[in-house]
């Protein structure tokens, strides 16, 4: 799907997950608690939102998303 086909929420979530992937790959995020705190840091994204949880699973963070 082209970037222009996504809404602002989806783009921002994708960007956050990309940042979290990089931080995890660099060893800055190593636990599920750190992942959740970084994902939800500004209150914009919450794992109780099915869109967020689904995106986390698709991005390979299913184990950390709980």
Region 23-34: mean pLDDT is 97
| Cβ atoms < 10 Å from Cβ of 53 | 17
Helical (H) or strand (E) element with 40: none
pLDDT tens for each residue of 43-65: 999 999 999 999 999 999 999 98
pTM of the model: 0.85
Angle at 55 between CA 11 and CA 51, to 5 degrees: 85
Find, among 1, 3, 29, 17, the residue nearest to 59 by Cα.
17
Grouping H, G, I as helix, E, B as strand and the rest as coil, residue 41 is coil
Identify the band that residue 26 occupies on the pLDDT scale cut at 50, 70 and 90: very high
């Amino acid at each position: 799907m082209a970037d222009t086909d996504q809404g602002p929420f989806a783009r921002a979530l994708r960007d956050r997950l990309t940042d979290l992937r990089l931080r995890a790959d660099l060893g800055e995020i190593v636990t599920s608690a750190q992942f959740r705190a970084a994902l939800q840091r500004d209150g914009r994204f919450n794992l109780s939102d099915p869109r967020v949880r689904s995106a986390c699973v698709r991005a390979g963070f299913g184990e950390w998303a709980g």
